[in-house]
Amino acid sequence: MSSLSGRLASWASGLRLDHVPQHTVELAKIQVLSQLAAIRAGGSHPLGQALVRAYGAPLQPDPCRSAAVLAGLGSWLNLDDTAYAGHLSNSTVAVPLAFSRARGLTGAGLLAAVIAANECAARVTAAATLGPFRGQTAAHTSLVGAVAGRLHAERAGESRWVDALGLALAMPPWTLIPAYVGSDARTLGALLPVSMAMQACEAAEAGLRGMPDVIEHPDGFLARFATVPLPEVVCEGLGQRWHTDTLSFKVRPCGPGIDAAVDCAIELHQKLDGVTAADIREVVVEASIYTVRVGHATRHYEAGPGTPTAALPLSVPYTVATALLHGDLNVADFSAPAVLDPARWELARSVRLSHDERMTTELFGSVAPFGEAVRRAGPRAAAWVSQFAGPADFTRLIGTRPQAKTFVRATKQTPARVTVRLADGRVISGQRAIPVGGAGAGSPGVRAELVREKFRRTGGDERVVALCARLDRASAAELAEALDLALGLSSGISASCSFA
């Protein structure tokens, strides 16, 4: 098939684990464990428990419904992992996990489905990265990842892939930011598109036809969802340039671009021993335009203890103040009694967010979240960059770095500097270029241990940690047992799991 969906389906439907470089397989194993932790953490919060009451347990007889619940639980706290391009794991891990028991997948089969889904979702997302949506608001990432994750698990033929993708992308969600940030609708941000994708797969199986060129059609998906469409990246370098290699692992629940600032605040906490909120005169967070834009988008929803829960992980003042005062940031910080703590809000009012142009240059210089897309677009991206970053030297921002032939050394730079000015005149400061766990920060072994600790902090069973380390060799029975331990009723995910 000559359409982009057809070419992508032809490659992805036939992908097997022995086609994938071992270092990429290792990252996917870490990704599975990391998303299991995100799901457990999401289920420990009152909003996650409400989601379970509405839609059922994470593991249930209907794999479609299970996939939707897993996607919802793992996404809304921003503990899900990211890549170039998009928040992949809410669909690319959640859906294969849900279908693994129903289809009797081995660990190798699960990993192949995850990687195939990663590659499909990331490529379509990359093609639309220079558009109105990014991060979790780009719901089309979950549409594509869910279709690919399910159909690979079911070993469906490529024609069904094309029909399902065509049907799923016929009416992609358009996120309304005020509702997404200002209400509990954010808990449905991945659940709804995954549900839509499941229905598209079932319709395709029943014989309904999808539009084969839905991605690149002159009035198709990219025409509507990309300011600067990049259709050429959808199928470029299949089997050679692995988007899975660009994974950044989230170790704390906070929004895009905020991670590095929170990391700095946690490090500074140790130097502030005995300091209270009243002892701090001002906190200045210097960051790239990405973090500044997130801060500006959420400040209208910051209302002290009355702040909507969905806005809290995206709030630079609240997350940085919490990390400075307590030396950590966890799920418990987004519900009572933590959100009622007057000291946090007193300090949050002292946090000032400032744009650093050099950090914006670093942001655009890395592969993720969108530097690679800007370099690929070249001069075509000038208007988008101006709208996103404001007046700037476009040539300086995109640099002279060539487009990446592989993503083995991909980085995600969302830098930040946190400076604390104390009432007694002291000034302490800390800076990071890449968040802890991000692509380019630390060796694979170090990042793997961070993810293992992330899972342990949710109360996860050590046997699941061990199984994920050898997931590529796990039998179907071993995988099913591990999922029961991680997500079944015996795990206590809907009641007693804590991330503290």
Residue 498 domain-assigned (yes or no): no
Same domain, 265 and 204: no
Residue 305 domain-assigned (yes or no): yes
Instruction: Measure the CA–CA gap between 194 and 98, rounded to whole angstroms.
Output: 12
Same domain, 65 and 206: yes
Tell me how far apart the terminal alpha carbons of the chain are, to the nearest angstrom. 50
Which amino acid is it at 457? R
Same domain, 232 and 276: no
Residue 499 domain-assigned (yes or no): no
Which has the minimum average pLDDT: 31-35, 72-76, 296-300?
296-300
Q: Does residue 287 sit in helix, strand or coil?
A: strand
Q: How many domains does the chain have?
A: 2
Dump pLDDT digits (tens) for 281-326.
999 999 999 999 988 888 889 999 999 999 999 999 999 999 999 9
Bridge partners of residue 352, in order along the sequence: 284
Mean of pLDDT values over 173-181: 94
- The per-residue pLDDT for 332 is 94
Percent of the chain that is helix, strand, coil (3-state, to 5): 60, 5, 35
pLDDT band, very low/low/confident/very high, at 65 (cuts 50, 70, 90): very high
Dump pLDDT digits (tens) for 120-146.
999 999 999 999 998 899 999 999 999
Instruction: Measure the CA–CA gap between 365 and 227, rounded to whole angstroms.
Output: 20
Question: Does the pLDDT at position 468 exceed 80?
Answer: yes
Given CA atoms 16, 20, 22, 26 in this order, what sign does their dihedral have?
Answer: negative
Bridge partners of residue 248, in order along the sequence: 82
Same domain, 328 and 430: yes
pLDDT band, very low/low/confident/very high, at 393 (cuts 50, 70, 90): low
Q: Does residue 355 sit in helix, strand or coil?
A: strand
Which amino acid is it at 408? V
Same domain, 278 and 414: yes
- The per-residue pLDDT for 403 is 67
Residue 497 domain-assigned (yes or no): no
Q: Which residue among 390, 415, 436 closes a domain?
A: 436
Question: Does the pLDDT at position 497 exceed 50?
Answer: no
Mean of pLDDT values over 264-284: 93
Same domain, 245 and 256: no
> Domain with 286 in it: what CATH number?
3.30.1330.120
Question: Does the pLDDT at position 35 exceed 80?
Answer: yes
Q: In terms of residue numbers, what domain contains 149?
A: 4-251+443-491
Same domain, 177 and 324: no
Residue 302 domain-assigned (yes or no): yes
pLDDT band, very low/low/confident/very high, at 382 (cuts 50, 70, 90): confident
pLDDT band, very low/low/confident/very high, at 495 (cuts 50, 70, 90): very low
Token pair, residue 73, equals 């639980």
Q: If you average pLDDT over every residue of the chain, what do you get?
A: 93
Residue 211 domain-assigned (yes or no): yes
pLDDT band, very low/low/confident/very high, at 273 (cuts 50, 70, 90): confident
Same domain, 218 and 360: no
Question: Does the pLDDT at position 1 exceed 80?
Answer: no
pLDDT band, very low/low/confident/very high, at 112 (cuts 50, 70, 90): very high
Residue 432 domain-assigned (yes or no): yes
Same domain, 87 and 230: yes
Bridge partners of residue 432, in order along the sequence: 416
Question: Does the pLDDT at position 395 exceed 70?
Answer: no
Residue 25 domain-assigned (yes or no): yes
Same domain, 226 and 286: no
Given CA atoms 440, 444, 446, 452 in this order, what sign does their dihedral have?
Answer: positive
Closest by Cα among 201, 253, 196, 202 to 68 = 196
CA atoms within 13 A on the CB side of 359: 23
Q: Which residue among 396, 415, 436 closes a domain?
A: 436
Q: Which residue among 417, 436, 455 closes a domain?
A: 436
Q: What DSSP assignment string belongs to 337-368?
A: TGGG-HHHHHHHTTEEEEE-HHHHHHHHHSSB
Question: Does the pLDDT at position 429 exceed 50?
Answer: yes
> Domain with 199 in it: what CATH number?
1.10.4100.10
- Write the CA distances from 109 to 7, 73, 100, integer angstroms: 22, 23, 8
Bridge partners of residue 427, in order along the sequence: 421
Closest by Cα among 480, 468, 471 to 37 = 468
Same domain, 402 and 279: yes
Same domain, 167 and 91: yes
